Chain A
Amino acid sequence: MNVLRVTDLTVRYAPDVHAVRDVSFTVGSGEALGIVGESGSGKTALALALMGLLPEGARVAGSVRLRAGELLGRSDAELSRLRGNDLSMIFQDALSALTPVRTVGDQIAETVMIHSGATRAAARARAVELLGSVGIPGAARRARAYPHELSGGMRQRVMIAMAIANEPGLLIADEPTTALDVTVQAQVLDVLRAAKEATGAAVVLISHDMGVVAGFADRVMVMHAGRAVEQGPVEQIYRRPVTPHTAALLRSVPRIGESSSATGAVVERSRRPVVLEVEGLVRHHPVYKGPLLRRRAGTVRAVDGIGFDVREGETLALVGESGCGKTTTLMEILRLSRPQQGRIAVLGHDTAALRATHRRALRRDVQVVFQDPYASLDPRMRVASILAEPLITHRVPPSRVGGRVEELLELVGLGPEHARRFPHGLSGGEAQRVGIARALALEPRLLLLDEPVAALDVTVQGDVITLLEELRERLGLAYLFVAHDLAVVHLIADRVAVMYMGRIMEIGSVSEVYGVPAHPYTRALLDAVPFPDPVLERRRPRVLLHGETPDPASPPAGCRFRSRCPRYATLTAVDGRLCEEHEPPSRPLRPGDDADQSAACHHPLVEAKAGL
């Protein structure tokens, strides 16, 4: 039986700006429809139209029928009776979707009371019950927490609890896990799946992530420029896409298991010069508390003693979940000054010993590309002035600046006509190319990349990654690449370092770390990445991590991964003692081999070679 039937839905913002054009689909009860598409394809406008939440001035035509009732054209008051009762929505950003000044328990209870007329006490009890059902430990206590006191994953669970409070017939989830780390994303998707099964609701899942949709949806609708270009059962869409647009979308999704075509290094690694060397790097932030006399309440160990090296012509990726210290590491290197502890050497120069003029000169060799291409370009400057800035700063003669700017634009695949644009007149991919061009202006030898493709659409991601690969080969660069997306890392990196709470858990070549992960955390991270293939995604065995990253101000004693470690949970008390009492040092797994994989684990998944 169809819960939702949408026919010829059209949404216009201005007379000739169509956000959605003639979209028709149905969703049956207990069925999950995945809507995928790039940003600007009309996914969110569609969801808002279903909920009747479009901004004023938007014109909607067509029909949206929920069970037997038409939703379009109803007054806001009538819709309010339906919203939260017959249909409800889960938003991407739970922090802004929850009221900051009321406890989460109250907010869920409110939803229950408004629609069912339950007493306050009954509604409270129901709220606690719901929080328990979405897997929040200590639900009664958590119900009294304010949204900001909960982690991102917990907040998203609260949103799901609120959405299913009145057992709606239809759940609309707009990018529900986009803001979450992969391990938490896997947990939240499981909760959503369980909620769907428990309530028998129809689910519309909107996502840009082909992997998430592959694992969750029964049917898929692909949107492009406001139109539904293709829809059908999930296997059919993924295995035998009909339209070229769907095929292109699927092709551009980076997958683990496909290695990069170009393994840049021909010369053996140990013979190539070291560009960047980091040893025992530490960055601690003091935490102060108290209103008047601020006393030191603890230390956040953002980076807690890490070491690695990057050699010419190679890419080392630092991966890990948010807050693991990967970006802090990058910033410490970029400062080019004495770290709190440890040693950083760039091209053989110890940064602690640099004088101001020398440091300035060294900046030519170390450049950075940031995550958000728009945020990293001054909105008030034209592309030409943005690219000229590094040249002028390092005293390139003015007569040569213009020519060099054009050269740089060409190098990153842009035309001279882009020079006159402002950043906001560029697409995301173009803006990121400008960011890369600026970083290359001074012909650096080491490029630090902070999630350079995370903010881009998948089809654009592929182009930028290819560009970065090409540039590395042509210019003989070395990359230090920070990312949370393991599939992207697999595509671009030669070596990878997995970070957790300020430490490197495992480091080695990509083929080794991805092929035979030794650290339980690496294994779990790889398992959590959704795979863009509906059959494989549902069948493969995996280890899900429990809980979330502990408070970085008080990591567990001994091994800091202990509190979430699936391996530790299976150890005997005797073996477990080691994890509880000693921080595991990073140890090479196969000493003597060519390989240089090391892991910081007392009980690695791959046994060290006998006799060593």
Chain B
Amino acid sequence: MTRSRRAVAGLVLLALVFALVFAGPVVSPWSWDGTDFAAFRAGPSAEHWLGTTESGRDVFAVTLRGARTSLLIGLAVAVISTGIAAAVGTVAGYAGGRLDRTLMWGVDLLIVLPPFLVVVLLAPRLDGGAPLLVPLLAAFMWMITARMVRALSASLRDREYVLAARFLGVGAPRVIVRHVLPQLASLLVVDASLNVSVAIVAESGLSYLGLGVRPPDVSLGTLIADGHGAAAASPWPFGFAAGLLVLIVLAVSLLGDGLRDVLDPTSGGAR
């Protein structure tokens, strides 16, 4: 499979998941928060396409709802955290000197803080559910990447084409945007795509502990946590949620992997 085809495959897959997640509820006769008191833990039937959960919710509808929440959280967290990492890292690396030391001092401070403890302490006080979870997760995911970006930017600063731009009189922000960031694009794209899955997994962990998405709202994390105990007896609630999670992560990493090569003209192909 060639690189650009891989990107297309990832994109198509992701589009399909999005279509399913947003069009599914329209097609399904059941709403995600409805309860069918006639069917608890039922198997697939014409009425409930993928059966029902222990509490009588339609598996198809509720899983799509969960996937939607997870997908949105994952994408938002990835974009925000990679964005912060790119901004802080390139500025610190390119500027060097005192600004670099100050920014990296801040990064080191945040790395030392135990993120889980902070989230556990903060989450119950700020009762916001998913919208609050996004900045909270993002705030603890960008530091390592920022350090990597800083190191690479610092080495790019001394590249001859960056020096050439500087000696032409191009200002620092423009040099960063035009010459430094594009060189880091592959790293950032891969980082963002990894962060999507990390964020989804982190969200599900917190939700499992009752610190993330709260009932009655659902996410893939809460569904997997709820369903895995009874997975042997009724595989549908667990299987469908886990399958969607794998599909999302696969689509995002295919897209990231493909994009990395499309973005780099030296990696063959485009001449």
Identify the A interface with B (CB < 8 A). 334, 360, 363-364, 366-368, 370-372, 375-380, 389-390, 393-394, 422, 424-425, 435, 438, 442
B residues near A393, Cβ cutoff 8 Å: 168-170, 174
Establish whether residues B179 and A363, one from each chain, have CB atoms under 8 Å apart when the complex forms: no
Establish whether residues A376 and B167, one from each chain, have CB atoms under 8 Å apart when the complex forms: no
Cross-interface CB contact of A368 among B164, B183, B266, cutoff 8 Å: B164
B residues near A363, Cβ cutoff 8 Å: 167-169
Interface size on B (CB < 8 Å)? Answer: 19
Establish whether residues B169 and A438, one from each chain, have CB atoms under 8 Å apart when the complex forms: no
Establish whether residues B265 and A389, one from each chain, have CB atoms under 8 Å apart when the complex forms: no
A residues near B163, Cβ cutoff 8 Å: 334, 368, 370, 376
Q: Which 9 residue pairs are nearest across A and B when measured between Cβ atoms?
A: A376-B160, A363-B169, A370-B160, A390-B168, A375-B160, A378-B161, A360-B169, A393-B170, A380-B182
Pull 6 A–B residue pairs with CB atoms less than 8 Å apart, ordered by A. Answer: A334-B167, A364-B169, A370-B163, A378-B161, A378-B165, A389-B170
Given contacts A334-B167, A372-B160, A378-B161, list 4 more A-B pairs with CB under 8 A: A366-B167, A368-B163, A378-B179, A378-B182
A residues near B265, Cβ cutoff 8 Å: 379-380, 422, 424
Asked if B125 is an interface residue, CB under 8 A from chain A, the answer is no
A380 to B161, CA, bound (A): 11
Chain B nearest CB, measured from A415 CB (Å): 17
B233-271 near A? 1/0 per residue, CB < 8 Å: 000000000000000000000000000000011100001
A residues near B182, Cβ cutoff 8 Å: 378, 380
A178 to B198, CA, bound (A): 49
A residues near B169, Cβ cutoff 8 Å: 360, 363-364, 390, 393-394
Identify the B interface with A (CB < 8 A). 159-161, 163-165, 167-170, 174, 178-179, 182-183, 264-266, 271
Given the known interface contacts A380-B182, A380-B183, A424-B266, the answer about A375 and B168 at a Cβ–Cβ threshold of 8 Å is: no
A534 to B70, CA, bound (A): 76
A364 to B170, CA, bound (A): 11
Of chain B, the residue at the smallest CB distance from A370 is B160
Establish whether residues A370 and B164, one from each chain, have CB atoms under 8 Å apart when the complex forms: yes
Of chain B, the residue at the smallest CB distance from A359 is B169
B residues near A371, Cβ cutoff 8 Å: 160
Establish whether residues A367 and B160, one from each chain, have CB atoms under 8 Å apart when the complex forms: no
A368 to B169, CA, bound (A): 12
Chain A nearest CB, measured from B169 CB (Å): 4
Chain A nearest CB, measured from B128 CB (Å): 41
Most central of A360, A371, A379 by chain B CB within 10 Å: A379
A residues near B170, Cβ cutoff 8 Å: 389, 393
Of chain B, the residue at the smallest CB distance from A425 is B271
Given the known interface contacts A363-B167, A394-B169, the answer about A375 and B159 at a Cβ–Cβ threshold of 8 Å is: yes
A202 to B39, CA, bound (A): 90
Chain B nearest CB, measured from A350 CB (Å): 19
Chain A nearest CB, measured from B178 CB (Å): 8
Given the known interface contacts A380-B265, A422-B265, A424-B265, the answer about A375 and B167 at a Cβ–Cβ threshold of 8 Å is: no
Of chain B, the residue at the smallest CB distance from A334 is B167
Of chain B, the residue at the smallest CB distance from A386 is B161
